[in-house]
Amino acid sequence: MTSTSRPSGTEPSRRRRGKAPTIFDVAAVAGVSKSTVSNVVRGADEVSEQTRARVLEAIARLQYTPNAIARQFVNQRTTNLGVLVGDLGNPYYAHMARVVERAAFGFGYTAMFCNIEGDDNLAAAGVDALVEQRVAGVVFLAFSENTPHLEDSLRGAAVPIVFLGLHERWADSVGPRDAEGGRLAAEHLLALGHERIAYMRTALVEPSTDRARQSGYRAALRHAGRAAQPTLRWEPGSPVLRSGREQLGVAELFRRPHAPTAVFVSNDIGAIALMEAVESAGIGVPADLSVVGFDDIAIAGLRRISLTTVAQPLDFQAEKAVAMLLERIERPSLPLRHVSVAVELRERGSTTRPRVG
Amino acid sequence: MTSTSRPSGTEPSRRRRGKAPTIFDVAAVAGVSKSTVSNVVRGADEVSEQTRARVLEAIARLQYTPNAIARQFVNQRTTNLGVLVGDLGNPYYAHMARVVERAAFGFGYTAMFCNIEGDDNLAAAGVDALVEQRVAGVVFLAFSENTPHLEDSLRGAAVPIVFLGLHERWADSVGPRDAEGGRLAAEHLLALGHERIAYMRTALVEPSTDRARQSGYRAALRHAGRAAQPTLRWEPGSPVLRSGREQLGVAELFRRPHAPTAVFVSNDIGAIALMEAVESAGIGVPADLSVVGFDDIAIAGLRRISLTTVAQPLDFQAEKAVAMLLERIERPSLPLRHVSVAVELRERGSTTRPRVG
DNA sequence: CTGAAAGCGCTTACAG
DNA sequence: CTGAAAGCGCTTACAG
């Protein structure tokens, strides 16, 4: 009952018990050479029908499974893709990760995941592990700034890499039009009549991405002749936030005179957490505060959440990233490519006109 | 700028350009044998300090990274764990997957993920891929029933396996006390005064798990002298559901006379989807219908969702499963182990006393 | 169309 | 403490 048993019977006696059959065993049973078995397994077409049938039968009889480790070893090339993911517990990453795995598998690759989650040492160890495993390429689905060691390791290993969901100069990347998204969010709030619209960043978004989204927001405000509010910085779950240079309680900020009546948060998880935080302090969304997010993760669309947000095509980006990575694996000398995908505003219930007075 | 460059300089000229340095290159630079380099890399303690230093210096100079494929090939054993996951887009699986990866990495293993998502052929292909990759073990984080081929492949390959989140007779498993959870859910609703409490299953939960949860529910009703309602079967997103043998609209069911006033759904995702469905039809939760879930995924705790649910310790189970799998990898002949973890009811806003009249 | 032989980068006894 | 040699299971030219 320990699942180590294995059908015994007609195998050649020189098959070592408890070991998986090899190409050698198959060759012996079929009465051909290892080369021929290899040709059959790989689907080379220079094998006669008769021989092929004999080999296939031997394979079935022995329940032979090719050893991909050996194959990868001799080929000096694996069919594994490494996926560096920020945090699988974050729905945004989880969604992307799922599509990446699906796409990779469709192309005959397996996906080795590695959570990165903040800790730089862990991230570095993860990259080292992937490099040692000689992954054919890496999908970078996480931060890259603030972790210079990562970039060194990745570039040093000369492993093909694609950044997914963000833009990075030194490698292929596919990400959303961040500035345009910021502009759409701000324009929506302006159109509703908001005059004091704040931008909020969290540690959940890469700094350069944050800057791009904020620049779009700023541009829209400027165009409308409105002053940008001090930048809000908040760590979801924290009772305090920073507004420009001051630090104060979340509720405190939104209760004082001339407080922002609308906030554009640079990502959905942060936006939903903000709704949670202000509402538990009695500040209603959207009655007292309009909130816009970015990403359009699945839960943003639940009626009870109903978050207005800048939607980016997650599946498309993930699939595109994998395709680009495979292209680079085939042709490492390809020029760098940076794909930007369109975003669109999804108006839902978390935004409305500002309260009068 | 295509990241294929590599620092050139003092390497021995016989290093083939564009190829990663091997133990052989290191040996040449350090002026020792390959065996000695291997001893240093593996941390064998029979190397003199002086020699070790020379080797280490050569390694640093060449930026040598051990080839894990070669090592795994000769060791006839990999340090990769396969993770068969139902659907990474489902927060329950995503959460478990994250902890599994973390735990595995902590033990020096990498995690190869494979989405299973309904499609049997895909599942079978995924298992085959993992077996070909000779994973050291498999964490099964998905369904197993209805996919007999899967079980055959897994058992045939004699790969150590652990089931996570559910119980399976023929292999190690760690899962929650399903029946107890069902009992807790029903008792909570009974205590609130509900008389017509229905059990709802979805395709998101393994049939055997569903049966166990339902049996606890039934036992509690029986003990309270209440009749069980017809079993509800629903596919989240569908406009219709089945109640016993009838098929009818979701809202239709809950609007008719003597409709259930409370529903215990066998998992949180299903419960949240149900809240969504009934509320969009004007049926309020908990005002018109109390809903209890199972799992306690993160979003269940959001104020706006506030789902009363049976909480199971996700992290603990995932860590335990990995630990058990590694134990079995070390000692395949270990007797089978089935771990059941305690569950507890988390009372929140989705349940209340039934409407009078 | 088929087979013999070399080699991928390591580890592991085994000598010295 | 160090090195020479065999071998892990495949693929790949290269003969025949």
Partners of residue B157 in chain A, C-beta under 8 Å? 65
Residue of chain A whose Cα is closest to the Cα of B237: A302
**Tens of pLDDT, residues A33-68:** 889 999 999 887 778 888 999 999 999 999 999 999
- The residues pairing with B331 across neighbouring beta strands, listed in sequence order, are none
B95 touching A, CB under 8 A? yes
CA A16 to chain centre: 44
User: DSSP secondary-structure letter at B134?
Assistant: T
pLDDT value at residue A144: 67
Q: How many CB atoms lie within 10 A of CB A125?
A: 14
* Any strand C atom closer than 7 Å to A246 CB: no
Nearest CB to B134 within list A68, A303, A336: A68
* Backbone CA torsion sign across B261, B267, B271, B273: negative
B47 CA, D1 C1': Å apart: 6
B272 touching A, CB under 8 A? yes
**Spatial contact of A355 and A287, defined as CB atoms under 8 Å apart:** yes
**Spatial contact of A234 and A264, defined as CB atoms under 8 Å apart:** no
Partners of residue B325 in chain A, C-beta under 8 Å? none
pLDDT value at residue A226: 94
**Tens of pLDDT, residues A96-116:** 999 999 999 999 999 999 998
B304–A3 C-beta distance less than 8 A: no
Nearest 5°: the CA angle A95, A97, A99 is 75
Which of A96, A113, A336 should we substitute to test contact with B (largest number of B Cβ atoms within 10 Å)? A113
**Structure tokens belonging to residue A247:** 């630090």
**Spatial contact of B126 and B70, defined as CB atoms under 8 Å apart:** no
- Which region, left, alpha or beta, applies to residue A112 given φ > 0 means left and ψ of -120 to 50 means alpha? beta
A112–B110 C-beta distance less than 8 A: yes
Partners of residue A269 in chain B, C-beta under 8 Å? none
- The residues pairing with A293 across neighbouring beta strands, listed in sequence order, are A309
**Tens of pLDDT, residues A200-224:** 999 999 999 999 999 999 999 999 9
Interacting residues of A245 by C-beta distance below 8 A, sequence separation 6+: A230
pLDDT, chain A, mean: 91
For residue A155, is pLDDT > 50?
yes
- The residues pairing with B139 across neighbouring beta strands, listed in sequence order, are B83, B162
Identify which of B63, B345, B101, B352 has the alpha carbon closest to the alpha carbon of residue A154. Answer: B63
B302 touching A, CB under 8 A? yes
pLDDT value at residue A357: 56
% of residues, chain A, pLDDT over 70 = 94
- The DSSP code sequence of A185-251 is HHHHHHHTT-S-EEEEE-TTS-HHHHHHHHHHHHHHHHHHT-PPPPPEEE-TT-SEEEETTEEEEHH
Interacting residues of A252 by C-beta distance below 8 A, sequence separation 6+: none
A112–B112 C-beta distance less than 8 A: yes
Identify which of B236, B232, B284 has the alpha carbon closest to the alpha carbon of residue B263. Answer: B232
Least confident of A10-24, A267-281, A296-310: A10-24
A101–B272 C-beta distance less than 8 A: no
User: DSSP secondary-structure letter at B77?
Assistant: -
B98–A87 C-beta distance less than 8 A: yes
Candidate ranges A86-95, A152-161, A317-326, B58-67; pick with highest mean pLDDT: A317-326
**Spatial contact of A213 and A165, defined as CB atoms under 8 Å apart:** no
A356 touching B, CB under 8 A? no
Minimal C-alpha gap between B169 and chain A (Å):
10
Chain B 13-32, CB below 8 Å of chain A: which residues?
Answer: none
Residues A309-320: what's their mean pLDDT?
98
Looking up tokens 């000096």 gives: A76
> What value does the CA radius of gyration of chain A take, rounded to a whole number of Å?
27
pLDDT value at residue B172: 97
B40 CA, C14 C1': Å apart: 19
A290-295 and A262-265 beta bridge pairing: parallel
Q: What is the pLDDT along chain B (357 residues), one digit of tens a residue?
A: 333 333 333 333 344 456 789 999 999 999 998 899 999 998 877 788 889 999 999 999 999 999 999 999 999 999 999 999 999 999 999 999 999 999 999 999 999 999 987 778 888 889 999 999 999 999 999 876 667 777 888 888 889 999 999 998 999 999 999 999 999 999 999 999 999 999 999 999 999 999 999 999 999 999 999 999 999 999 999 999 999 999 999 999 999 999 999 999 999 999 999 999 999 999 999 999 999 999 999 999 999 999 999 999 999 999 999 999 999 999 999 999 999 999 999 999 999 999 875
- The DSSP code sequence of A316-334 is HHHHHHHHHHHHHHH-TTS
* Backbone CA torsion sign across B164, B167, B171, B172: positive
Question: Does residue A353 sit in helix, strand or coil?
Answer: coil
Give A18's pLDDT tier (boundaries 50, 70, 90): low
Give dist(CA A203, CA B174) in Å, integer: 35
For residue A14, is pLDDT > 80?
no
pLDDT value at residue A120: 80
Give dist(CA B296, CA A349) in Å, integer: 26
Q: Which nucleotides of D are covered by protein (CB under 7 A)?
A: 1-5, 7-13
Give dist(CA A256, CA B4) in Å, integer: 55
φ, ψ dihedrals at B87, nearest 5°: -165, 110
Give dist(CA B269, CA B86) in Å, integer: 14
A23 CA, D1 C1': Å apart: 39
Q: Model's pTM, two decimal places?
A: 0.92
**Spatial contact of A242 and A205, defined as CB atoms under 8 Å apart:** no
**Spatial contact of B163 and B328, defined as CB atoms under 8 Å apart:** no
Residue of chain B whose Cα is closest to the Cα of A304: B304
Nucleotide nearest to A55 (CA to C1'): C2
